[in-house]
Amino acid sequence: MAYESPLLRRPGVVAPPEDHPEAGVPWHWGDPFAEQRTASRGVAVVDRSHREIITVTGEDRLSWLHLVISQHVTELPEGEGTEALVLDSHGRIDAHMVLAYVDGTVYLDTDPGAQATTALPKGGEKQPLLDYFEAMKFWSKVDIRDATDEWALLTLLGPEVSTMLSRFDIELDTRPYAVTRFSGGIARRMPWPGPSSVDLLIPRSELVDWWTKLTDAGARPAGTWAFDALRVESLRPKLGVDTDERTIPHEVNWIGSAAHVAKGCYRGQETVAKVHNVGKPPRNMVLLHLDGSQEIYPETGDPVLRGDRTVGRVGSVAQHHELGPIALALLKRSTPADAELLAGTEDRVVQASIDPDSLPREHTAPGREAARRLRG
């Protein structure tokens, strides 16, 4: 049965469409643009309780994880976190997760329904991420558990987050991915969307109580509409939306933040190291400014065209409170920064331009003139 947050029964909440990637949690609370503004200037709270939680404990917890994920974690200190991937044997992305390490337990939260490619000799088939981890245990002294029924995730956004947390006696380091345990849960500093974001991992049985406490203390209820708009602005991809079956970490800015280029001994590492050291990815993820004058928007998976040639695919599409309609897109690396593009298909084709600030350094950026042209 599909997950449905208890907060969806609150007055004023609007649920996303059933086929939406964030189905199961609030989409917005009546005014998604005001929610974004508060998330940028004050403090807002987003229900992300649909994310799945896996815990890893045991004597070999860090050394075992080091072998099966793309990040370097053998010396991950307690009180810190990171991001990581599971790749297939060709270096293509199977799963993305965020870690928090505290009190001898590694907490991994990931998108609902996360899967990984089975190990050879079965070859090629997908299985739930937890099953993949179990299949990779071998003789390691680790205990891997699905803790989704025990823990739920809320995200606080905005420059006033630290002030809000202090009201609950939560003191959290300002370093990205800093982790602390507090009475009632775990807090993790996140570098996106925005520099002041904090994830709260709280007992699932206390989800409604914590939501009430945070909103009573001044946090504005916000939905995944606002979260995704700020995520897109931050150039942070969502797996399965901004990626396809061919995506490698280099294309979507996950080198360094989620994939380590120097460590060996993980599936897909050869591709990661080779592209980083001697090659360039075939595509780049960029921010597109969309012409919103007709209130027509492309959808995830739609083509991006330059003339009559397809040069990429549309990923996340968002309506931003300041930037207007924007999208992430995977484009061929050869696409010029000032290219005149069309995004979408059928009756949802719109003009689009690349935000030059989203391009890799190798590209020369002509400024934001292209984006201004779309706005007249």
The predicted structure's pLDDT at residue 124: 74
The predicted structure's pLDDT at residue 364: 40
* First-last CA distance in the chain: 48
Task: Show the CA angle centred on residue 290, arms to residues 285 and 296, nearest 5°.
Answer: 125
The predicted structure's pLDDT at residue 122: 58
> SS3 letters for the chain?
CCCCCHHHHCCCCECCCCCCCCCCCCCECCCHHHHHHHHHHCCEEEECCCCEEEEEECCCHHHHHHHHCCCCCCCCCCCEEEEEEEECCCCCEEEEEEEEEECCEEEEEECCCCEEECCCCCCCCEEEHHHHHHHCCCCCCCEEEECCCCEEEEEEECCCHHHHHHCCCCCCCCCCCEEEEECCEEEEEECCCCCCEEEEEEEHHHHHHHHHHHHHCCCEEECHHHHHHHHHHCCCCCCCCCCCCCCCHHHHCCECCCECCCCCCCCCHHHHHHHHHHCCCCEEEEEEEECCCCCCCCCCCCEEEECCEEEEEEEEEEEECCCEEEEEEEEECCCCCCCCEEECCCCCCEEEEECHHHCCCCCCCCCCHHHHHHCC
pTM value?
0.93
Pairwise CA distance, residues 314 & 286, whole Å: 10
CATH level 3 topology of 6-51+149-234: Gyrase A; domain 2 (3.30.1360)
The predicted structure's pLDDT at residue 366: 40
Pairwise CA distance, residues 51 & 115, whole Å: 13
Give the bridge partners for 156, in sequence order: 45, 198
Sign of CA pseudo-dihedral 17, 23, 24, 30: negative
Per-residue pLDDT of the chain (376 residues; tens, 9 = 90+): 789 999 999 999 999 999 999 999 999 999 999 999 999 999 999 999 999 999 999 999 999 999 999 999 999 999 999 999 999 999 999 999 999 999 999 999 999 999 999 876 556 789 999 999 999 999 999 999 999 999 999 999 999 999 999 999 999 999 999 999 999 899 999 999 987 899 999 999 999 999 999 999 999 999 999 999 999 999 999 999 999 999 999 999 999 999 998 887 889 999 999 998 888 999 999 999 999 888 899 999 999 999 999 999 999 999 999 999 999 999 999 999 999 999 999 999 999 999 999 988 654 444 444 444 444 4
List the chain domain ranges.
6-51+149-234, 282-359
Residue 281 · residue 249 · CB < 8 Å: no
Sign of CA pseudo-dihedral 359, 301, 98, 129: negative
CATH number of 282-359: 2.40.30.110
Instruction: Say how many CA atoms lie within 13 Å of 157 toward its Cβ.
Output: 27
